[in-house]
Amino acid sequence: MSYQALYRKYRPSTLADVMGQDIVTKILKNAVQNNKVCHAYMFSGPRGIGKTTIAKLLAKAVNCLDPHDGDACEKCENCISINSGFNSDIIEIDAASNNGVDEIREIKSKINLVPNQLKYKVYIIDEVHMLSIGAFNALLKTLEEPPEHIIFILATTDLHKVPSTIVSRCQCFEFHRIQNKDIVKRLEFICQKENITVDKKVLEKIAQLSDGGLRDAIGMLDKLNAYSNSNISLEDFEKVNGIVSYDEQKQFLNDVYHKNIINVLQFLDDIYDKGKDLIIFTQNLIELCKEMCVTYYVEKKCDYPIQFLLDFSSNVSNLVRNTSFSFNTKTLLEIMILSFINSHSTDSTENIDESTKILTSTDKKLEKKTEKESTSINKDDKIISQEINSEKNLTLDDSKFIIENKQIVNNCFARADKNEKKVFESKWNQLNDYALDSEYGATACYISDGKICAVGTGEIIISFDYESMVNRGIHLINKMEQLLEKIYNKHYDIALLTNDEWKQAREEFISNKNNNIKYEYIPVQKVHAGYIDKKKDVSNNTVTSEAIELFGADMITIN
Ligand SMILES: [Zn+2]
């Protein structure tokens, strides 16, 4: 006997055997049982999820001589005849292979003839949306007044392409994708029957790739089985389906994060040359980012900042959504990734990195606001403005951020409060409630990557692992303050530091405390990024006058 494809061999033979379409099969079985079968059905939904299979099973159930619970008995002569596939009263038409005019005309001419053997003559028209206008019109006439012994079962993947005059004459069922766990269960059953050794992980991957289509999933298992001789490994799965391995996907993501452009492009070249499926690769990348985000929220651990994962996956999915992939897929993917890396590395952050370093090294004493030390601060402030002005590429907004940031750190030390910190920490989790918020989502995700270092009565210091993370926050400060105000019902000034800067600041605070040097609170005048027109030139005078506004004229000495 010739080889029978697995999906044919394991096709359900009764409605009760059908997997993942419980509601549809229950309604149909009840209709058969209660003799309330309609004369026209419309089954719609994605391909490979059982529409035609159920149509055939319904055709059998309505004609069974001894139905049980509205399902075929599989023993009577009608069931046996239908199972043979040669019963002339069950007529299948594939509208996709021709326009159907002749077939529908034939239906019309024979519609009044009684069935040869069965109780009902059943017409199953697959991909009905492909019929020509003429065929639709002919079909409409027959649907308007069908004889008692006729049942039409129409199936389509594109319900919106079927004229509403046809749809309205049918009882409609919308079929849903089959859940992955149900597909895995069915595949496990088949593997057991066929003595196929396979890891459950592989079956889960098959289910994922088949996107809710059981027929495709079984077809994939069949192909893998033929390739690997009944012993299927994950490598086989990846090879046969042109999939980039999980480890390689992770390495690729890591290279994108660390901006290893050479590695990124080389890798895309390699997988392209090896004939890997780039569309599946992009889908896998989105899946990988999602997995990592979930781990972040559930287990509170993640290799990358959450914002990076969200931004990257959203860029990749936009690419998938907005392109038909008809143009060179690889080029599109390369351009998207390069542009992503570019947008994640510039926005003037490199320049700020440099100037932050200058400021950090020259301005360590800014936080020590004792009267005795005010002279030294004056000197330092002068240095700050000179340094800022010598750095041509530094924008006014950024320089203001740096000055203000330091002042908030000072104020936070001046008004640090243990109880305030406790209250603050107890509500920190509420950030998660805003993770999907359209206005504050990105801000909530960003800020929850940081650590609470110190809390004053009206200020907070948050630290981050990387300098790039701090830099990104400069333009989110206003949003962050608004968000914290929503959660805590009060205003907090926010200072952003790297973990190392925080460590240094804390050591300084402790040493000052030991030396009885006190911190004094100085009101911060709001000069956040975004408040000022970015086109303004950074001139000596402007920065000095801003510094005067910030610290008061008596604290600034001008040459
Ligand atoms: Zn039967």
DSSP code per residue over 60-78:
HHHH-SS-BTTB--S-SHH
CA 151 to ligand 1 centroid distance, Å: 18
Please give the DSSP secondary-structure letter assigned to residue 325: S
CB 349 within 8 A of CB 471: yes
Distance CA 472, CA 492 (A): 19
CA–chain centroid gap for 237, Å, is: 23
Whose tokens are 């509420």? That residue is 430
CA 76 to ligand 1 centroid distance, Å: 4
CA 508 to ligand 1 centroid distance, Å: 88
> In the beta sheet, which residues pair with residue 41?
153, 171
CA 81 to ligand 1 centroid distance, Å: 10
CA 424 to ligand 1 centroid distance, Å: 70
Residues across the chain: 559
pLDDT in tens, 471-514: 778 778 888 999 999 999 888 999 999 888 888 888 888 887 88
CB 221 within 8 A of CB 187: yes
- 81 to each of 74, 90, 118, 226, 359, how far by Cα in Å? 10, 10, 10, 32, 89
CA 83 to ligand 1 centroid distance, Å: 10
CA 78 to ligand 1 centroid distance, Å: 6
Distance CA 536, CA 459 (A): 29
Q: What angle do CA 188, 193, 195 make, to 5 degrees?
A: 90
How many other CB atoms sit within 10 Å of the CB of residue 125? 26
- In the chain, ranges of CATH 3.40.50.300 domains: 6-174
- 535 to each of 218, 397, 404, 527, 538, how far by Cα in Å? 61, 10, 20, 16, 9
Give the burial class of 418: count Cβ atoms within 10 A of its Cβ; 0-12 exposed, 13-18 middle, 19 or more buried.
exposed
Residue ranges, the chain, pLDDT below 70 = 1, 322-329, 345-402, 525-559
- In the chain, ranges of CATH 1.10.8.60 domains: 180-240
How many other CB atoms sit within 10 Å of the CB of residue 468? 19
User: What's the pTM value of the predicted model, to 2 decimals?
Assistant: 0.54
CA 128 to ligand 1 centroid distance, Å: 28
CA 88 to ligand 1 centroid distance, Å: 17
CA 70 to ligand 1 centroid distance, Å: 10
Distance CA 303, CA 322 (A): 29
CA 272 to ligand 1 centroid distance, Å: 54
Q: Which architecture characterizes domain 246-345 according to CATH?
A: Up-down Bundle (1.20)
CA atoms within 13 A on the CB side of 107: 29
CA 52 to ligand 1 centroid distance, Å: 19
- In the chain, ranges of CATH 1.20.272 domains: 246-345
CA 115 to ligand 1 centroid distance, Å: 17
Instruction: Find, among 453, 443, 445, 375, the residue nearest to 413 by Cα.
Output: 453
CA 121 to ligand 1 centroid distance, Å: 16
In CATH, 6-174 is 3.40.50.300? yes
CA–chain centroid gap for 303, Å, is: 18
CA 189 to ligand 1 centroid distance, Å: 26
Q: Rounded to 5 degrees, what are φ and ψ at 264? A: -60, -50
In CATH, 180-240 is 3.40.50.300? no
Q: What is the pLDDT of residue 400?
A: 60
Distance CA 183, CA 180 (A): 5
CA 73 to ligand 1 centroid distance, Å: 4
CA 62 to ligand 1 centroid distance, Å: 9
CA 64 to ligand 1 centroid distance, Å: 4
CB 93 within 8 A of CB 126: yes
